[in-house]
Amino acid sequence: MVCLSVVAGSVAHKLPPCMNTATADVKFVGASTVDRVQLPSATCAAEDEVVSLFRPVVSDVQNQPSSDGQRQHRSQLREFADNYAVESTRMVHTPNVSEKDILARFANVHVPSGALPVQEYLQSVMRDFVDDSTRVFCSKQIGHMAANLPYYMPPLAELVTAMNQNTVKVETAKTVASLERQVCTWLHRLVYQRDDAFYSSALENSEVVTGMLGSGGTVANITGLW
């Protein structure tokens, strides 16, 4: 038996049926008696599968090796992106696919009852909205706020996604938060042309901001009005 001291109410007495359990003696904080409760000793296979999705894909066998499936999925995604870029040089839209055909793919109003295996999910992504999407890379495409990207942007986006920084606080983005402040200062200077002392002081003072970066034009406009 294991004797634990925990805050009252923090231990669930009912566990999912897929979880193996072990009996433990638990003394709740502020209580004078010891209760016998069921604590999880191992997670079920489904939970292990979910956890595996968040492990980094590495090739070094001695350093947390990745499964063949993980490496295959990453390779597939990169191949999909490369093929999409090549196809984008030839056409804007896939022929013989109408807007009605597209809408029919997204007519289901019921929330899926369960998660898809990764391989099946990737196949559905390609089939349902990648293959027949608008090729904004194509030189024949003229659209508002749609343009080609430099070759290094897709892999750079993968790196930024892997970093997953949270710039709302320095503790979760100590370099990117500083970069954000610097970029906002540059943009401010392009418009207002203040002197060096003003911008140096603004960068050093955490109580001063010269701007904010939004996720898009709509958010930026609303933030500016506010």
Mean pLDDT over each residue of the chain, to the nearest integer: 77
Cα pseudo-dihedral 215, 216, 217, 220, rounded to 10? -10
Which residue blocks in 42-175 are alpha helix, DSSP H?
A: 45-52, 68-87, 99-105, 118-125, 153-163
* Predicted pLDDT at 200: 94
Axis crossing angle, helix 118-125 with helix 68-87, rounded to the nearest 10: 10
CA distances in angstroms from 71 to 44, 53, 67, 122, 147, listed in the order given:
24, 12, 7, 14, 31
Given pLDDT bands bounded at 50, 70 and 90, which one contains residue 12?
very low
Domain extents in the chain: 69-149, 165-225
Average of pLDDT values for 82-90?
81
Q: Any idea which of 55-64, 66-75, 82-91, 194-203 has the lowest mean pLDDT?
A: 55-64
Please say if the pLDDT value at position 4 is more than 50: no
**Torsion sign, CA atoms 87, 90, 91, 96:** negative
pTM over 0.85: no
CA distances in angstroms from 32 to 3, 5, 26, 28, 177, listed in the order given:
13, 11, 11, 8, 48
Given pLDDT bands bounded at 50, 70 and 90, which one contains residue 46?
low
Please say if the pLDDT value at position 33 is more than 70: no
User: What is the rounded CA–CA span in Å between residue 131 and residue 94?
Assistant: 8
Q: Any idea which of 56-65, 121-130, 195-204 has the lowest mean pLDDT?
A: 56-65
pLDDT higher at 134 or 9: 134
Please say if the pLDDT value at position 30 is more than 80: no
Q: Which letter, b or e, does each residue of 38-71 get, where b requires 16 or more Cβ atoms within 10 Å of its Cβ? A: bbeeeeeeeeeeeeeeeeeeeeeeeeeebeeebe
Please say if the pLDDT value at position 66 is more than 80: no
Check residue 210 and report its DSSP letter.
S
Please say if the pLDDT value at position 61 is more than 80: no
Q: CB of 88 within 8 A of CB of 80?
A: no
* Predicted pLDDT at 10: 40
